[in-house]
A and B are shown apart, each in its own frame.
Chain A
Amino acid sequence: MFLKKHTSAVMFFLGVSLAPLLVPGHADAIPAFSRQHKTECSTCHTIYPELNEFGDAFLKNGYVWPHKKGEAAKGAEPVGNEWAAISGLPQQIPISLTASADLAYDEDAADGNKVDLSARSITLQAGGSFRDLVGFFATYNLYSQGMQRASTLSTPAANTNVPPGNTPDLDELFIVWRQAAGTPINVKVGRFEPKLSLWKKSNRILPVPSYASTTYRVGFSPFSSDATEDGVELNALLGNRLFVAAGVVDRNGQDREDGYGHISYKIGGTDLKGQEPEVDLEHDSIWDFLSVTLGGFGYWGQNGELDGDGISRNRNNFRRIGAEADILYKRLHLKGSGSFGRDSNPDFSLFAASVDSRAYTLEGEYYLGAPVSLVPLFRYEYLNAGYGSVKRLTPGLAYAPLQNLRLSLEYTHSIAPEGTGNIAFASIAFSL
């Protein structure tokens, strides 16, 4: 009875008490959305934080339930919620927490410490919308320790325009002006992951490690395609299945802004507005269950080594071109991603030497749904960032005994010019 009456308090207490034992992994999968819309996590996720088709439509719709825009203005808010409709406030505080803990086994650990249970973190997330006109999303790394610690490792977050003396704990903070001025264009402003890949780095069953094809770096350049950055992005859903995005990124030490673009098209399946396909319930067709999404992106930018005055020296001009495919058929989900790049001076050297790079990722998942929420998967990655080719083979398992609790186990076999390596990685994460 006590538990039933005080579930929220007990969950919060457990979350806080167990936090030191756990590690993080921020995500778009946040219970704030679940509370706001009074629906379960599986509305938008397979095993969180991976998005399902409807979740992807929700994301592209600026964190507003698809088809809902305009209804509030027509007075569709239920009686008793008028205050929220008038003020534009979310009816509940739109905040969530995600905590995670990792156990890593590295047979080649440099310090001889093969078993490491010291990686853990807590991430604060906020997301929602103001009267369906403006969507917002934020992730803040409250605490992290161990291998994922952003302030001690050169993570993609370090690539953002962080004011001097501050650690890059604010990973995302942006608003989306939905369908600005009555056009189909959404205007996104703030710090966010530029829309390049089909999948946000946080929307995968195994967020760590991220895909080689989108997270790789070259030389001393901190740039990676999936780093969060400060910028302005315009994106739009054209028709029901074509999504386009273009934006500019501002970074310290530039003499011009970075620019990027994305285009993707979905064939079959739930469309990008969240509407189900037409299916004949009397006859079978392969398109009853098949959906194929194809995407492409390009990024052109510049960075350099900042001197004591904050001036960029020995600049590096770089570009990335990528193509991706996402195929879903019943319980089988295949993802393919390839990226090519060129950096003019990735070592920020006085004597510039350009480097060509390329990376591929292929991943296959199979959903063993109810009654067992288990997903076996296999990932293959290839990377050549100018220093020889590296291949990674990663079989993994993810299990969600509850929709807000994920256990994962993965094993990575790496083949690099300097030899092979084996790392096993177990993680537990929950959101509340």
Chain B
Amino acid sequence: MKKLLVTMLLVAATATSAHAGLKVIGRGDAMRLDPSSFPPAMKANYEIVRVKCVKCHTLERTIVAIQTGVAPISGQPFDRNATKAYGIKMLRKPDSNMNKAEVKASVDLMNYLLSESEK
């Protein structure tokens, strides 16, 4: 019983310290963020990401990159430089249908999420 309690506490402590600010809902392709605790501006940004980004890829890809700090496909660090680079990539992608304001909102959100995940 004591071992079980210690194990549970360790697991809980690890999970909390890793991504304290990110509330993730669902798994795999259905993975989403719970934006209820986001500031209003970030809630609006999240709506853009939720609608625009999933036209080409799942939100899981973005969430995993933020949680791990590593872009899942390229294996490169996913930091603030990377968020802007990915934003520019999506801006210039002919079929992304994203304008500069939407890309900026997405980059701001990812930077915010990176900050939250570091807490």
Contact = CB atoms under 8 A, between A and B. Distances in A.
Interface of A: 37-40, 42-43, 46, 52-54, 65, 67-68, 71, 76, 269-270, 275-277, 279, 281-282, 284, 288-289, 330-331, 367, 369-371, 373
B95 A369 contact: yes
Interface residues of B, number: 24
A288 B92 contact: yes
Given A276-B88, A277-B88, A281-B103, A40 B75 contact: no
Nearest to A330: B94
Contacts, number: 64
Interface string B82-109: 0011011101111111001001100100
Given A281-B107, A370-B96, A39 B91 contact: no
Contact of B88 (A68, A279, A330, A373): A279
A71 B94 contact: no
B76 interface: yes
Contacts of B25: none
The 10 closest A-B pairs by CB, nearest first: A369-B95, A367-B94, A276-B88, A281-B104, A370-B95, A39-B73, A279-B88, A331-B94, A276-B85, A369-B94
B97 A370 contact: yes
Contact of B100 (A40, A270, A281): A281
Contacts of B72: 38
Nearest to A46: B94
Nearest to A331: B94
Nearest to B87: A281
A159 B115 CA distance: 59
Most buried by A among B55, B92, B94, B97: B94
A373 B95 contact: yes
Contact of A76 (B75, B87, B95): B75
A117 B37 CA distance: 61
Interface string B30-72: 0000000000000000000000000111000000000000001
Nearest to B95: A369
Contact of A71 (B75, B85, B97): B75
Given A269-B92, A367-B94, A67 B74 contact: yes
Nearest to B52: A370
